[in-house]
Structure 1
Amino acid sequence: MLTPLGELVEVNGHNMSVYTEGDGDKTFVFMSGSGTCSPILDFKSLYSLLSNEYKIAVVEKFGYGFSDVVDKNRDIDTILSETRMALDKAGIEPPYVLCPHSMSGLEALYWAQKYPEEVEAIVGLDMAVPDYYDEMNINIPIMRLGQYCAGLGITRWIPSLAESNAIKSGTLSQKEKEIYRAIFYQKTATVTMIDEAKAVKKNAGVVKEKGIPQVPMLLFISDGSGGTGFTKEKWRSIPKEYISNHNNASCIELDCPHYIHDYEYQRISEEIRSFIR
């Protein structure tokens, strides 16, 4: 069940998982949100609709999927350097179309700020922008409780916990669903995820200071349900305001929860193709 679906590359003395699929003159890099235990399978419903035309890469950060769990600094420079190194080790060259979900939106924006020549565009999958974190409550004690329960095996006694959006609403096969559940039991609220959550407000501040990068952007925005903690109106207003002075950015509102790529994968894939064209 836990045989890596992609390849493992060595990054700073640890193994990081990188999955690739398809071929084409554009390379899409999918970047997962906080706590998504299996990024490769979480994004599959969407990227499987794109890989016949584009090259797809999913980088599983430390603490996620088939990558090693590390207890190290999760400042945004470190996270970005690890992602870039993993892609380099896997032979996946820039420029990239970054496809971040949720918290990894900060990493994508920072990437475009620091290395604009490497970022062809950003396709935000209900991605975070810095202003969200001015008001967001990061509940570390709840995350630690999840870590404790997973370590004791308590989560195995509540099967519904493992039924992710990808399992319930996506297009995963039965075998892929079983693999997803196995990864969930192993990678729930890892110490790396908790370290990331502790650092996220500071990371958001770093990104905010540098302003909005002037790369083409297409932002898909959910209705705010599914764990964001915001009302629909507030959730949608923040990214709209963020791109309001951008000369090449647009947004598309979707009436579905936060993990939009597990619900509206068909429409998103069609809109992405139009955006790239």
Structure 2
Amino acid sequence: MVTVYGHKIHIYEEGSGKKTLVFMSGGGTASPTLDFKSLYSLLSDQYHVVVVEKTGYGFSDITNTSRDIATVLSETRQALKNARINGPYILLPHSMSGIEALCWAQKHPEEIEAIVGLDMATPNAYDGYPINFPLIKLAAYAANRGMTRWIPNLAENDAIKYGSLTDDEKALYRSIFYNRTLTTNMLNEIKMIKQNAKRIGKSTIPETNYLLFSSNGEGTGCSEKKWRCIQRDFVQSTKKGKLIELHYSHYIHNLGYDRIALEIKNYLEVLDQSLEN
């Protein structure tokens, strides 16, 4: 636990390799540390794995701070600094945090070695994207009053159903879920996401190394055709991008973690060789 601007932020570390992999969760993921475990447990034998749980997520404090992209990024970077975890980093953003990762690479390119997108969102993903905020607020109201406990299946996410979590870890994830469902921070993120995406989209795509894993669109709110196009268009607009299309739903790291881990290791080995040359 580190203190950032008066609030506690939880950082999980595993492994001790030369490269530091920073996992960044998608919007509304109750326990990022457990959500990514199936994947990072296959990578920590070679790499230093880090999961930063943003405010409102996992074991971090719930706050009412602004969720504009500059503030979110500042908190993440300061948390790493306070934990004495130095870059350069390889970012592994899932879903909404793709916007933060791109902002990071735009503002501080010297800190980023590569971005490995785990079905990450790009600015274009939010063009015309429908967000029913009144319904989301109603769901948050129900969650805050414990009504989600009446529907046990809500806590059975992909990490629990398909990942490699132990029984104790599954029980812990369920407990965290009931305490971190649509928190104030998560709601404020949803309010700001289109504005944040538009802001990042106005700037040029950062010149870094990209490896993107794309889902079939299920769980993204987009059709498979549209989601594939968003991912392909982004990679084609980069100078050093590679796309791997998978036939899994949005939380690909809980469904295809064996293949994804192998592809990441192969990619980073090739990247190392190119940097040496």
2:142 aligns to what? Answer: 149
Residue 13 of structure 2 aligns with which residue? 20
Aligned residue runs from structure 1 range 41-60, under 5 A? 41-60=34-53
1:189 to 179, 182, 187: 182
1:254 aligned residue (215, 221, 246): 246
- Identify which of 246, 252, 255 aligns with 1:263: 255
- Secondary structure in structure 2 of the residue aligned to 1:120: strand
Correspondent of 2:90 among 86, 93, 97: 97
Q: What is the aligned counterpart of 1:274 among 263, 266, 269?
A: 266
Q: CA deviation at 1:265?
A: 0.2
Deviations 1:214-246 (A, max 9, x none): 1000000000002x1111010010121122132
The one-character-per-residue Cα deviations of 1:234-274 (angstroms, maximum 9, x if unpaired) are 00101211221322101000001000000000000000001
Farther off after superposition, 202-211 or 48-57:
202-211
* AA matched with 1:276: L
Letter of the structure 1 residue corresponding to residue 241 of structure 2: A
Q: Tell me the percent identity.
A: 54
Partners of 1:27 and 1:142 in 2: CA distance: 39
Q: Structure 1 residue 169 and structure 2 residue 182: aligned?
A: no
- Residue 219 of structure 1: aligned partner: 212
User: 1:49-90 deviations in whole A, cap 9, x for unaligned?
Assistant: 000000000000001000011112110000000000001111
Structure 1 stretches of at least 4 aligned residues deviating more than 4 Å after TM superposition: none
Residues in 1 aligned to 2:123 and 2:237: alpha-carbon distance in whole angstroms: 15
SS in 2 for 1:20: strand
Count of aligned residue pairs for this structure pair: 269
Secondary structure of 1:102's match?
Answer: coil
**1:123 maps to what in 2?**
116
Structure 1 equivalent of residue 273 of structure 2: none
Distance 2:156 2:227 in 1: 25
In the alignment, which residue of structure 2 is the partner of 1:203? 196
Aligned-pair CA distance for 1:150? 1.4
TM-score by length of 1: 0.96
Q: Distance in 2 between matches of 1:151 and 1:197?
A: 17
